[in-house]
Structure 1
Amino acid sequence: MKKQLRIGVLVVMGALLLSPSIPFAAQGQMQDSSRRLYDRVMEEFKHRDYEAALAGFRLFIEVHGHSALAANAQYWIGECQYRMGRYKDALASFYNVVSYYPLSPKLAASTLKIGQAYTKLGDQDKARMMFERVVDQYPDSSEAELARKAIDTTNAKSEPIAHTLE
């Protein structure tokens, strides 16, 4: 019931923001409302209510698709899907960040998550390719360190086990 109420509140907020009867707000007010909605949805995510957060981030993109936070919202959509085990959906969402927001600060994180999603889906070759891309394109990032560890883990799993004969 609580989750339905939260999703309902998000839908009502979106309907009010999209309503043609409300005059256009000044630029600063729109930024304030986009930030408030984004922060509210992030609270859902932090409380691990991924369904509500997913709905909220989708609403955010519908209402504030051109804001500076749109790329982040798209990333968090993928993160919600990933955490719910919807790896194919998460792949599409993370690829959207890479494709539609080429200047986003979430590029390294999205590329890493693409690799992690491929790992979950059992496609080690594509996963390795994405991890290597993170290391090559973002070598000094925290994501590159995680990608290096993922590559090392993949290497350890793929190395043949030496058998000794006595």
Structure 2
Amino acid sequence: MKKEIFLIGFLFFMGCATQKDLARIEQHLVYLNGKIEDLEKNQQKIENIISSQQADLLVQVGPLQDKIKELMGQREETVYELQQLSRRIEETNKEIERSEKRLAELEAKLEKTIKMMEEKSIPSSKTQKEEWLYKKGLNLFRQKKYEKARETLNQFLKLYPLSPLAGNAQFWLGEAYFAQKKYEEAILAYQRVIKNYPKNIKVPAALFKQGKAFAMLGDNETAQILWKQVIKKYPKTKEANLAQQALKKIKK
């Protein structure tokens, strides 16, 4: 660009310009040359700044790239650990299934063994069979297996309706219903004790528990009538004392 400016000056000079014109042109050329130098200096400064910024960026980007690589490595490790965990969970589930299957087989064998032992332990005489079946139902009740207890006691009453233990069996049948909060069925079961086995030792208890069942159903009036009957008919029994206590509570 400087050469072009000098060339213009030379051509202008060759055109026989005046001294004044030449001085003006030369002054202008000096000004332009200064501007060019300033521009070149500014350009150099800009290039230096850009180079410096590029260097800074490289310094900043380096750790970022290292961090990204580190995170990618951690991600791969996490993915691997998750895959391993998934495999272990799958293996554990399979082991649980196998254990449950073995447990079911053992329970089936145990139930079969118990059944065989029960069959072998059934007594031969009629009286012994009665007692065995009654005790079985009573034991089931005490174990809180109320459904099975009721099935066994009903079976006993069906097979031995005239047995000396029939009244007791009927009472425990009512107790099983009561324990299951089937109060209406319990009331009917207790009533059969009172009606069918009036001389049985469980009659006072059946009458008292019948009152409790009515109370649980919200019929306190009927409950009080029944408890008063217990006190009147069986004054020296434990159930009479229980009936008196129940009446006091219900009147409060």
TM-score by length of 1: 0.77
Which residue number corresponds to residue 94 of structure 1? 190
Which residue number corresponds to residue 238 of structure 2? 142
Which residue number corresponds to residue 20 of structure 1? none
Which residue number corresponds to residue 126 of structure 1? 222
Which residue number corresponds to residue 142 of structure 2? 46
Which amino acid letter does the alignment assign opposite residue 55 of structure 1? Answer: E
Query: Within the alignment, does 1:74 sit opposite 2:132 as a pair?
Result: no
Query: Within the alignment, does 1:116 sit opposite 2:212 as a pair?
Result: yes
Alpha-carbon offset, residue 66 of structure 1: 1.0
Residue correspondence of structure 1 range 51-66 to structure 2 within 5 A = 51-66=147-162
Separation in structure 1 between the aligned mates of residue 161 and residue 127 of structure 2, nearest angstrom: 12
Which residue number corresponds to residue 101 of structure 2? none
Alpha-carbon offset, residue 42 of structure 1: 1.0
Separation in structure 1 between the aligned mates of residue 152 and residue 240 of structure 2, nearest angstrom: 29
Separation in structure 2 between the aligned mates of residue 30 and residue 118 of structure 1, nearest angstrom: 38
TM-score by length of 2: 0.52
Q: Which runs of 5+ in 2 are unaligned?
A: 1-103
Alpha-carbon offset, residue 41 of structure 1: 1.4
Separation in structure 1 between the aligned mates of residue 173 and residue 182 of structure 2, nearest angstrom: 11
Identity between Structure 1 and Structure 2 (%): 28
- Tell me which stretches of 4 or more aligned residues in structure 1 moved more than 2 Å: none
Alpha-carbon offset, residue 81 of structure 1: 0.2
Structure of higher CA gyration radius: 2
Separation in structure 2 between the aligned mates of residue 36 and residue 130 of structure 1, nearest angstrom: 33
Query: Within the alignment, does 1:85 sit opposite 2:148 as a pair?
Result: no
Separation in structure 1 between the aligned mates of residue 161 and residue 229 of structure 2, nearest angstrom: 27
Alpha-carbon offset, residue 72 of structure 1: 0.5
Question: Secondary structure of 1:85's match?
Answer: coil
Separation in structure 1 between the aligned mates of residue 198 and residue 234 of structure 2, nearest angstrom: 14
Which amino acid letter does the alignment assign opposite residue 104 of structure 1? Answer: N
- Greater helix percent: which structure? 2
Q: Which runs of 5+ in 1 are unaligned?
A: 17-24, 157-166
Which amino acid letter does the alignment assign opposite residue 71 of structure 1? Answer: G
Separation in structure 1 between the aligned mates of residue 185 and residue 137 of structure 2, nearest angstrom: 19
Separation in structure 2 between the aligned mates of residue 30 and residue 85 of structure 1, nearest angstrom: 34
